[in-house]
Structure 1
């Protein structure tokens, strides 16, 4: 019988082959990527194979409709569990349900579901489910591929601990504009692979190994690998530390010299947020010209970098960003730590597209549900993993009118948007790390946020929202519009009473920190 694989182009057979009666689990951040992997796997099956596709929370036809008519198994049965409330029960009863529908001996099974449906399972519950499935698969010589989408680190940790019970565990996620495939462990008839990482590309809706990993490692010069091309202000007035340190007064002179290096350390200062985009363009051009062996280090001389700015500089070519107030001795230790490294990010061909992805939308504040989900579709649709966003569903505490809660919320940054639907408050924070969520909520809420909201539920992506409810919801209520206008009228009246005459002016576009 021919080998059955995930069909990821150019990966070796032992990294993608599925053994008979195996249970394989692939965690994916995005539902769209889960659909692609499922379609890629099913398309690679032969006419002699039989397969079953079970989708939780979506129509299986959306997965297979675009498959070529001459590709895939000779027999494909499809089932769906459309009701979210029934998915957990269906997962628990999966083996018994498969027996009831009389699955053919030697079939290949694909189960697709969201991590949110099983992330609360304990390690013991998962082990019990996996042991039951393994017994069922062994008795019928069937093979199961579970495609689980959504971020659930705790679930993944529990699965890692079950490496003796499942045949394979892998992750596929977007990061820094690229597609990463992390092979935690993979058992096949050819042996075991573990702890391997690959950069993938998506071409014609098929995942494959990137050209960078297919090609041999670049040859780097060694004559300049211990040279430090440094902007003078970075050393805080200290003299060159050795003859290998070459100091430059101006950044332009430093970058001009750096274009002729291949493995040197290029160290520059950043003093203002206004310099970020220009510096990012210069780093992108430098990295494109000099290759991955150059060590580019940016030292923040003033507290000016936001999370989004850091990710932009790293994606454009920086190896290391040293934060403000790092002592000089510690800074020099960090510079030593990157020696011998190569830049591991994916080179972006069109830097303007990267800027567009990292630039927040022009909207901020309270939106109607339709405008809210439309904006999120645009953000998540163009995302490539450079930055992390926070999407939250919050339940107001107590029985106060919703307008009283809205008066306690101030969204000042572009890209920070919210809406109210069915008694819940939905909040999206653009370019906000998980560790920055609590400080952000503290800045957004006038009162302590724990006093305003009783339950806060993080959502992985826009797909975790009940889409139809947002599409069918009425526009922003007349009460909210009138309340907003009343605030404006009161402000104008207060200014007039103080004796000031408002004048129209134009301000530069800026984003205060959350």
Structure 2
């Protein structure tokens, strides 16, 4: 019998029975594939069959070691159906694929991964999807195989509810998601040797190329009236969060600064704390303080961030919300509006899962330090890394494709791009410039490009296409890398080095070899000039 090698899961949550089919759903390819790879043991003695349009993804992940070992032992049989998909509908394609797999003698009691995207399933209606699932059930009964149906894509939630209803066709269904740096797995139902597991949730942590499950997350939600807190109506706020002289209600109390407010935290249970952000605020330290308060005081504490005159970027917003903040006020609000917004969150508890530590969240920001122009193949790899980090942080990202007008050399518009923000990447292939904007929402793309490109876009480019879903961005990068793998793509790195002349370079100033006695650096002093009186002759 196969099993999921995820330490921390209950034994019956790890079981994968023979002659059974399980559905694994996730919004991203790498998430669903990583989970499936946990079923491949180090000393795997069974045969493994993989059918996917993204075969290479199964061998590129950090957790692919056991699969690669099995492949080297001729135990892995992979099938790619991306090319055939143009000739057949997904229903006919799956039917033919299962018939072909049944021919192999090694299929008996093997482990089978079939990976489909929601884009492929969108072409058929719901009754046809149900008929498609019946094909999988008949296949496992015919071959005694253990089948994991992997479904990924932006519309995966829709198919989650459908597979819940098809619990007679599947032996188990799990949904895996990243909720801002916290990966969770929901067991909708899971048949095992002693019964059925249902409605269980675990947190997953990726360590040493393996998934580790934390304790089950309790599903009980306390009712608003189940606890009476003595300080639930109290509001503590920093002095500069409201204009000087503002008259506040009786339950409002003012402290000097963020540090003073943080020190009040340990003695508070359900009050509201309003921190302020100015241009001098250390956002990382403030986020750490919010996380510590949330862990110490619990879910009934309300944490509010008031932006006074600072700049809270999109990535900073997601960082604060991930680490336990209830509400962010993005601009300096009128006192009456501030009071109304605080009142709107009182009486509610914080419901999002918390990460294990601040460092666990900050590690994803470290992957986004690269910026500027990159050779095209390296560009696609870095965009995937940036996009994956954005998924874990709950941050948006946009891939912009700018198609050049005829007879325009790409080097000229490339010189006009001035990228200063970490995470923004640029490259070119043939007549298209690719621009990845990290931590940028789709609505802000036009303003972002105006800051990066000083001339009119229409003077150089014939059209502009956007991708804002991380699933599609990562799919596009994989397809571009495959398409240009054996093709020559011009690298403009050397030609663009001169474009850095506007940047400040300390090495030009800190030069100890300068001869300070040279004529151009010698200061010659001379006596003041003597004034001469001039008279005009008539």
TM over 0.5: yes
Cα displacement string for residues 43-71 of structure 1 (whole angstroms, at most 9, x for unaligned residues): 39997x775444543356677643799xx
Q: Which sections of structure 2, spanning at least 5 residues, go unmatched?
A: 511-538
Q: CA 1:273/1:379 → structure 2, altered by over 3 Å: closer, same or farther?
A: farther
Counterpart in 2 of 1:57? 54
Q: In the comparison of the two structures, how many residue pairs are matched?
A: 477
Partner residue, 2:342: 335
In 1, Cα distance between equivalents of 2:64 and 2:372: 39
Match of 2:40 among 39, 42, 51: 42
Q: Is it true that 1:147 corresponds to 2:160 in the alignment? A: no
Please list the CA deviations of residues 353-378 of structure 1 after superposition, one character each: whole Å capped at 9, or x if unmatched. 74463267554333322553464466
Aligned match of 2:392: 385
Q: Residue 495 of structure 2 is aligned with which of 481, 485, 508?
A: 481
Alignment partner of 1:394 is 2:391 = no
Q: 2:159 aligned with 1:177, yes or no?
A: no
Are 2:421 and 1:413 equivalent residues in the alignment? yes
TM value normalised by structure 1: 0.73
Distance 2:9 2:363 in 1: 32
- CA offset digits 1:399-436 (Å, max 9, x no partner): 34243654775544332111012433222111223554
The CA RMSD measured in Å over matched residues stands at 4.7
8 Å CA contact 1:420, 1:426 repeated in 2: yes
Cα 1:367–1:470 change in 2 (3 A) is farther
| Alpha-carbon offset, residue 29 of structure 1 | 5.0
Trace 1:117-266 onto structure 2 (pairs within 5 A).
Answer: 118=120, 120-124=122-126, 126-140=129-143, 142-149=145-152, 152-165=153-166, 167=170, 168-183=172-187, 185-186=188-189, 188=191, 190-191=195-196, 193-194=198-199, 197-211=201-215, 213=217, 222-236=229-243, 237-242=245-250, 244-266=251-273
Kindly tell me: are residues 360 and 58 of structure 1, through their superposed partners in 2, closer, same or farther at Cα, counting changes over 3 Å?
closer
Counterparts in 2 of 1:466 and 1:331: CA distance versus 1, 3 Å: same
1:55–1:379 CA distance, 2 compared to 1 (3 A): same
Q: Tell me, which stretches of 5 or more residues in structure 1 are unaligned?
A: 493-503, 507-514
Verify: 1:295 aligned to 2:292, yes or no.
no
Aligned equivalents of 1:64 and 1:361: distance in 2? Answer: 24
Which residue number corresponds to residue 346 of structure 1?
354
Bigger-Rg structure (1/2)? 2
The change in CA–CA distance for 1:156 and 1:474 in structure 2 (over 3 A counts) is same
The whole-number CA distance in structure 2 between the counterparts of 1:362 and 1:50 is: 42
Separation in structure 2 between the aligned mates of residue 398 and residue 105 of structure 1, nearest angstrom: 57
Deviation at 1:332, TM superposition (A): 3.7
Once the two structures are superposed, what CA deviation does each residue of 1:83-133 show, in whole Å capped at 9, x if it has no partner?
A: 7434676656322222333565555422246x3762653435644433433
The separation in 1 between residues aligned to 2:30 and 2:64, in whole angstroms, is 13
Report the equivalent of 1:111.
114
Distance 1:130-1:44 versus aligned 2 partners, 3 A rule: farther
Change (3 A) 1:457 1:420: same
Q: 1:155 to 1:34 in 2, by over 3 A?
A: closer
The Cα offsets for residues 140-178 of structure 1, whole Å up to 9 and x where unpaired, read as 5544212345xx222542453454346354332334332
Residue 66 (str. 1) matches residue 62 (str. 2): no
| SS of the residue 1:259 aligns to | helix
